[in-house]
Amino acid sequence: MEEKPILKNELPLMEHFYTLQGEGYHTGRAAYFLRLGGCDVGCVWCDVKDSWDASKHPMVAISKMLEWVKESGTEMAVITGGEPLMHQLDLLTQELKLAGIETNIETSGAHPMSGEWNWVCVSPKKFKAPLPEVLAKADELKVVILNKSDLEWAEKHAAMVPPNCLLYLQPEWDQAEKMLPLIIDYVKQNPRWRISLQTHKFLQIP
């Protein structure tokens, strides 16, 4: 008999804010972000390294998070990190869905899936490979391109997601000037891919 997961009524929260989604398919949509603490993937270019140690961040009740999300008036919540799937997310997503809020996750896919999601964005990292069962649930594959060899990495994982999964190449922010011409040419030659840009950085919003 399969054991039921232990539902956690609080999670380590690094930060939360209401903004516009800056990347991928939902770019430009209003979204409430819940950035959970804790990550063991260790990307060298990570721009939120303060999220890595979950113990540095307060445990916050899911009921409080729900209150913030509802007060914002948003239609969509984005659960990110850190690596959000290090935590059991069933209760959080259940409460958001009961409130009529769309649930989106941004994950490396390196930990088992939990939660009920309207949209799953998997951004695989070389530092800790994604699990095949998480890739199988991806609505969006977003691969950060730091150098040319990452295009091969992107194709490897594109072969592991469902046929209707949207495919995005996103230049690493500090290498964007160098990588963008390469990515543009690649997308023109391989039009099933799209470009994702970190528009929130251009807009200077969270």
* β pairing state of 76-80 and 30-36: parallel
Is there a cis peptide before residue 82, judged by omega within 30 degrees of 0? yes
Confidence of residue 5 (pLDDT cuts 50, 70, 90): low
Task: Kindly tell me if the per-residue pLDDT of 27 is higher than 60.
Answer: yes
What mean pLDDT do residues 141-163 have?
Answer: 96
- All structural domains of the chain, each given as residue ranges with its CATH number in brackets, are 10-203 (3.20.20.70)
Return the pLDDT at 3.
54
- Residue 108 above 50 pLDDT? yes
Token pair of 72, please?
Answer: 């914002």
**Residue closest to 143 by CA, chosen among 165, 125, 119, 120:** 125
pLDDT of 32 strictly over 60 = yes
pLDDT confidence bin for 185, thresholds 50/70/90 = very high
Collect all residues with Cβ–Cβ distance below 8 Å to 39 and sequence separation of at least 6: 46, 51, 52, 81, 82, 83, 86
Q: Is residue 187's pLDDT more than 80?
A: yes
Q: Quick one: pLDDT at residue 202?
A: 80
Band (pLDDT 50/70/90 cuts) for residue 177 is confident
Whether the pLDDT of residue 158 is over 80: the answer is yes
Tens digit of pLDDT for each residue in 113-122?
A: 999 999 999 9
Q: What is the pLDDT of residue 38?
A: 93
Q: What is the DSSP string of 171-198?
A: E-GGGHHHHHHHHHHHHHHSTTEEE---
Give the per-residue pLDDT at 4.
Answer: 54
Task: For residues 148-170, give the mean pLDDT.
Answer: 96
Contact 29, 76 (CB under 8 A): yes
In tens, the pLDDT along 37-81 reads: 999 887 776 777 777 888 999 999 999 999 999 999 999 999 999
Q: Is the pLDDT of residue 182 over 50?
A: yes
Give the residue, 19 or 5, on which the prediction is more confident: 19
- Whether 1 has a pLDDT exceeding 50, the answer reads no
